[in-house]
Amino acid sequence: MGRCVKDGRSRYTYARIPVGTAIGELQGLAAREYDEVGQKDLDHLNIDWKRYCELDAAGKLATFIAKRDGVIVGYAAFVVQTHIHYCEALIAANSAVYVVPEARVGRVALKLLRYAEVGLKAQGVKKIYYHVKQEKDFGRLLEHLGYRDSERLFAKVVQ
């Protein structure tokens, strides 16, 4: 687990946490994320918290949070594993990223993603992947952080 870092003059702090220590708060934020940008083409949001905890226990999950006044206002979670095409390369694939609208003023999201990147790099990650929804495109923020748009993701519900 990473250390908690205070954000200068603001009341925001950033930390890496075991996902199981904050499921209640994270579930509430995930519901807000789903309401705002969730893919509504499947039945409903039903997060497999047990699986998240199993991945975390196996060292294959990295969860970073932003807090204000002791309350989680944002998260970035990554599945961390070797890449099937480059077995010597540890990669991090973003599972979810969200910052509540009231905390989007300033640079909270930027600092959360920077904090996550530093933590992932310290873990030995060589490449980080983000998927970006067209409806809530934060690609400009990622480009500002040095990421590049490298491929597209297509999805279809089959029933």
Render pLDDT for 1-58 as a digit per residue (tens, 0 to 9). 455 666 556 689 999 999 999 999 999 999 999 888 777 777 778 899 999 999 999 9
pLDDT, mean over the chain: 90
Question: What pLDDT is stored for residue 44 in this prediction?
Answer: 79
Does 104 fall in a domain? yes
Rounded Cα distance between 31 and 8, Å, is: 30
- Find, among 65, 88, 71, the residue nearest to 4 by Cα: 65
Does 30 fall in a domain? yes
Q: Cβ(64)–Cβ(56) under 8 Å?
A: no
Count of domains observed in the chain? 1
The token pair at 52 is 């998240």
Question: What pLDDT is stored for residue 3 in this prediction?
Answer: 58
CB atoms within 10 A of CB 21: 14
Rounded Cα distance between 101 and 104, Å, is: 5
Q: What angle do CA 125, 70, 34 make, to 5 degrees?
A: 65
Q: Cβ(52)–Cβ(78) under 8 Å?
A: no
CATH number at 65 reads 3.40.630.30
Does 111 fall in a domain? yes
Does 28 fall in a domain? yes
Question: What pLDDT is stored for residue 32 in this prediction?
Answer: 92
The token pair at 10 is 């603001």
Q: Averaged over 72-95, what is the pLDDT?
A: 96
Does 48 fall in a domain? yes
Instruction: Return the H-helix or E-strand segment holding 64.
Output: strand 61-68
Question: What pLDDT is stored for residue 60 in this prediction?
Answer: 97
Does 152 fall in a domain? no
Question: What pLDDT is stored for residue 105 in this prediction?
Answer: 82
Does 156 fall in a domain? no
Domain span including residue 98: 5-144
